Chains A and B, each alone.
Chain A
Amino acid sequence: MLDFHKPTQVLRVGCGAGFSGDRTDAAGPVVQDLVAGLQSQGGHAVLIFETLAERTLALAQLARRTDPQAGYEPLLLDLLRPVLATCLAHGIRIVSNFGAANPRAAAQAIAQLAHDLNLTAPRIAVVWGDDVREHSEVQTLARSLPSPLVSANAYLGAQAIADALNHGAQMVVCGRVADPALTLGPALAHFGWAHDDWHALAGATMAGHLLECGAQVTGGYYADPGFKDLPDLAHVGFPIAQIEADGCCTLSKPAGTGGRIDLHTVKEQLLYEIDNPGAYITPDVVADITAAQVTQLGPDRVQLSGVQGHPRPAHLKVNLCHENGWLAEAEISYAGARAQARARLAASVVRERLPHLALRVDLIGVASLWADDAGAALAALPDQGSTDVRLRMATSHADKKMAEQLLREVTALYTCGPAGGGGVRTALRPRLGLVSCLLPRESIPSRFEMVQPLTVGAGA
C-alpha cells in the first residue's frame, strides 16, 4: 500500500515547534498556510513538531518512573489542541517525536483529545525501536557506567515514518528519531525515493535540518538591534518547506507573521550544530553542504539547492543517559555603593564555609558566561565599581545533601553575610550524564504499529 505516494505533486512540510518548551500558538498560522496551499496546488501537507533535545528523553524517562502514563512531551495537548481539527479535516498529516519515552501513552492522549473535540478517531501510528535498553551491547556498556542507566535510545531513520504514512497513518508518534527524519520520512513516502538516492535524501534531510528548530530559520534567535534588525519578532512565523522531487527545497513562512527569511537567516540555521559541513551524519544519509547554495526567490522565500549525499553509515548513534548527581545553584544580589566588593566578600565567605565543595562563582553583570570554573577571570578583574551585581554560585555533587549545603550557605547570607544582600533564589536539580556509542544498524530494527482502536473515556 502506497497511500502517501504522489511523486508528481507538491509536498509542503511545516514546522509547529522546534523544541520542548516552544510556543504553542506557532502552529496555527502554519496550518492555515498549509491549508491554503492544498486548496491552490493540491498535493500533500505535513506538520511536524520537534520536541526532543539530547537530554529531554532521559527527563521523560524519569517522569515515566513516577507516573506510568507520563513520559511524553508535557505540552503535547497544548500543541495539538489548536490545530488538530483543521489538520484532520484537510488531510494534513502530523509527524513528531513528542512520544519521547512513552509514545503509546502519547497516542492514547491524542485519541482522547480527538474524542473530547468530537472528531472522528484519527489513525495513529507509533514508531518502535529507539529504546535499546535491552540491547546486549548497551547492557554491557551500562555496567561500566558510574551510576544507574536512565535511558538508552538510538537515533532512528526515516523509513518507519514513511511506512506508517504509506499505510494511512494520519499521525505518526515517535520517540527518538534523527530530527531531520521527521521531514525526510514524509518526503520518502511522497516521492518514493530509493534508499540509495543519496542526493535527494540529503536535500530533504537538510530541509528537515532547516525546519527542525522552528523559528531559528525565520528570524528567531537572530535579532541584534542595529546589526540584525527584524520586523515583529513577537509574532515570528514558523517555517514551511516545499520539497521538490530532487530534494531541493524552498522555505517560506505564513503571511502576516513576523520575522524574516533571507540568505542570512537561512545560512545561520544551515550551519547550526554542524561539525564537518562535508559530512553531516544522519541514519539515512551523510549530507554534504560544501556545494550547497541559497537563493532568494522573493520576499521571505529562499531556496536551498546543491546539497549532495553520500552513503548512509553502517552504524546508528545511541545516547545513554545515566544518573549524575545533583546540580545546586544559588544567587543573591547587591546594589549601591561598593556592591561588587560586597558580592565578592559574600563569595569568599561561602567558599570559606564550604572548603570541601568545588564552587563556581559568577558575578552576573561583571563576569559570568565567559568566566571560568576556577575563577581565574574574576580574580584577574579589578572591581570597576559596579552598583548592581548578582552573585551566583554553583556546585555539583553525587550526594544530594552535600549539594544542598550550598543552598543553605547562600540563604544564610541574609543575616550572616555582607550588608544589604537581597533576592536569594536557590535551585537543586538532578543531573544526567550522557554517553554515546555506535551500534550496527542491523541490530536495531525499527517498525511502526497502528495503535487504533483505542478506548477513550468520556471528556477529561
Chain B
Amino acid sequence: METNNEQIISFKYEYRNYQKRALKEIDKYVDDNKIHIVAAPGAGKTILALKLVFDFNVNTLILVPTIAIREQWVERMLDDFTNIDKEQISTSLKDLKKFSIISYQALYEYDKEEIKNIIKKNNIRTIVLDEAHHLRNAWWKLLSQVFEELKNIKIISLTATPPYDDEKNFEKYIGLCGEIDAQINIPELVGEKNLCPHQDFIYLNVPTKEQEKQINEYRVNSIKIIKWLNNNQSIIKAIATHKFIIDYKNNIDDIITNYNIFIIMLKFLNDRNIFVNQYIKDVNKSYSPMKICDYENLFKYLLYTNDKEFEIIESTLKELKSMLLQVGAIDNGNINLLYNKKIEKELSQNIGKLNSINTIIEHEYNNLKEKLKLVVVTDFIKDDYSDFDDSEINQLGVIPIFRNITQDLKSLKTCVLTGSTIIIPTDTVQIFKDICKNNNIKDENIVVNEIGNDFKYSRIQLRNNSLIVKIITELFKKSDISVLIGTVALIGEGWDAPFVNTLIMASSISSYVTSNQIRGRAIRIDKNNISKEANIWHLVCLEKCGNRYVKGKDYEKIEKRFNAIEGLALTENKLVSNINRFDYFDRSLVYEDISRINNIMLEESSKRELISKRWFIALEKYIPNNKLLIKKENILKNKKLIYKKNVNHLLAIGAIDILALGLLQTPFWIALLSTLNAGAIVKIITNTKYNKRALRSISKTICFALKQKNILDKDSYVDIKLVNGKYEITLINADIRCQNLFMKCLNEAISKKCNSRYILIANEKVFNIPSLFDKNKESAEFFRKAYNKTNYTLKSKILYSKNGKGKLERLKLLLNQEDIFKSDEQEIFDSNVDIKWLSAALGIDNDLEIKL
C-alpha cells in the first residue's frame, strides 16, 4: 500500500483566518503525538485534519461514525486538494491504502489484537478520530487499549462538541484524545461568515393545574420524610456519634475524602441543636441550615454508602428507604426530594408547549411568509396518537405537535420526518416521487396512504429506507412546506439542511454535545441565501408558587443548555454564554409577566434584519478567551426579603446551593468543575469565601509562576472583573492550551477536594499548591515565592498537609473557609426552590412578601 507520493498534496483554496490561527496553535503541540481540534460545525475541521495528514505524509487511518461522513471525507480529499487521486484512498478495512477511511463500527468488529496487527502490518502512523465525542464507553475502551500498546502513532481528534458535561467520561475522553490544542468558536465562525448570524429566544409556559397538584403532593410527602428524619432520635444519635464528629483527629483522611457529607452532618446536628465537638465548634462561628440538596445527599449517604458507623440503625434506615421508595424519591441510587423522574418528564413534556409551538410558527410565518423553513426538534414520536382524531393530547411528541399544527394552522404545510413515520402534504407527493426517481427509487417501492378526513396529508413508506432523510430534506427545500417536525435521534446530529432558518428546540435535552448539535442544524450558512439569519427558540415550563411563577427543573435544563452556548444577548449588542442574555429571569414572575416576556420575544424575533448588524458590532468587542466565573457573595445585599412568619429555616431547606460559578465559553471548565460537584444538578465551586482579592492574588501567582517556568508568554496577564455578580477570571494573551493549564492550576488551588501535598497559607487564606508545583518541597517553595513576589508579602508559608499537624491545620482552614455560614439574603433571594418548597409544604404563600 505504500505509494510514492512525490508530489506535494496541497489545499486548493486559501485557509480562513481562524484556520490559519488553529494550524499555528497546533504546530506548537504536535510533540505529544496527540492533536485535538475542537471546532463548531462548518469550521472546516476536515480540511484542517487533512492538511495535517498530508503534511505528515504517512499511512493514515481515518475513523468516522457514519458512512455519510466517510463519503464526505473522500469528497473533501478529492475536491479540495491537489495531487491526490482515488487510487490512494480506501474505504475498506480489508484493502487499506495510504489514506483509508473506515467507520468506528467496522473497526469494532475486530478485537484489540487484530486491530493492532492491522495497524502494524499496514504501517499506519497517523490515526484520525472524527467526531471524537462518540468515543466513550466501548469504542473508547477498545481504542485506548490499542493506542496504549502502540507507540509513535499520531492521533488527530476532531469534534465540535467534546463531552464537557459528561463527568464520568470526560477524563477518559481527554486521556485518549489529549488536551485540546486548538478551538474554533461559534462567534469566530460567524465573524468569518462560515456560520450565519442567529438569535436565541425563550418562550415560557406554565404547568397545568394537574401538574401543579402533583408537584405539591410530591413535595408535601418529601417534607414529611424530612420531618420524620429530623425527629428520629436514632438517626440523630447515629450521626452525632459518628466517628467524624466524635473522633475527628483519628479520621482526618476520611473526613477530607468525605468532606461534603461531613459538612452536612455538622449542619444537620446544628439544626437539631446538638452539641458538636469543641474543636469543630471553635473553628465555626455558625452554620447555615440544611438545604434540600443536603438532605438528598444525606439520605443517599445513609442508604447507599457502606458506612459501618450506621449499621447500628440498620432497621431505621430500612424504614427510611421504604418511605422514600413509596413516594418515588429514589431513582437509580439518587434521591430526589423536589422532583422525581415522572414530574420532571411531565414538566419538560408540558402540553402547554404544543400551543407555544403554534404561536411561534404562526408568528414566524407572518414575518417570513413562504420563506419560512422551520424545524421543530423533539425527543419522542408518540406514534400511539392517531394522526387525525379528537382524542385529547396530553404529551409532547412529533405526532401530537403535527396534529396540533395541522388543526390550528391549516394554511401551513407541515411534514414529519422520523425513523419510523414519514408524513408529507398530499399535494407534494408528486414532487416527492420525482425526487425519488432522481435517486433511482422506483414508484413500486413507494407506498402512499392518505390520512385524515380531508386527505390533505399522506403517510409515506419507502421499501429502501436508506435515502429517506435525504429525499424528505430535498422535498422540504424544494416544495412549499414551511414546517418539518423531527426527532433528536434522526435529525439532531449530522442532518444537513442549510436552508433551515428557524428552529424550535422542543427537546428536554440539555447536554452540551446534543444541544450544540441540534442548534448546529439552523446556523449553517446557506449558499443560496447569503443573508440568512436564524432564529432559535427554546421552550421552558416554569413552576407555580402561590400566585407567582418561578424557575424549576425545566428552566434549569435550559439554563444548563445556555451555559454552553455563546450567542447574542437579546437586546444588547454583546456575546454572552449564559442565560443572562435575556435579563428577565432573575426573579419570580406573575402570569402577566409571562405574557409580556413572550410578547417581547416574539417582537424581537421579528427583527431578523438587525441580527447580522448586531452580531458584527458584538464581534468587534469579542475576545475568544477561557473565562472562569465565580459568583460573588452578597451581591444583592441591599435587597431584602421580609417574612411575616419565622420561616427562615424552611426557606433554607429548599435552597439549592448554587454557591458559585457560571461560565463563559469555557466548556473545559464545565467538565472540570463538574467533577467537584457532590451530585447536585448545578456545577459548583463551593468555596465562595475567596473574595476578589484572594482570587486575584492566587490567579496572579499562578500566572507569574507559569511565566517563570516559560510556559506562558511574558505578555500574558490575568484579568478579573465583576460581571453580573460573578467574578470573571480571564487569562489574556495565551493560547487555549495555556488557558486550560492556567484554569486547571487555579481550580486545584481553590478547590476543597484537591488533595495536594502542600498547602499555601497566606493572608488567612489557604490554597492548595497546584499539582504542577506540588511535586516536592522545593517546587512548592517556588510557588510560595511566586505568591510573595506577586503580592508583595513575606507572610506566606507552606505546610506539608499529609502529616498529623498539616492535616489538622488543613481541616481547620478548610472549615474556616467553608461556606456553611448562615444564608444571606442573596442566597435566599436566589433560591426559588425555597419558595416552592415553602409553598408546597405549608401553604404559606400569602404570608410571604418579597420586597426588592
The judgment on whether A and B are partners is: no
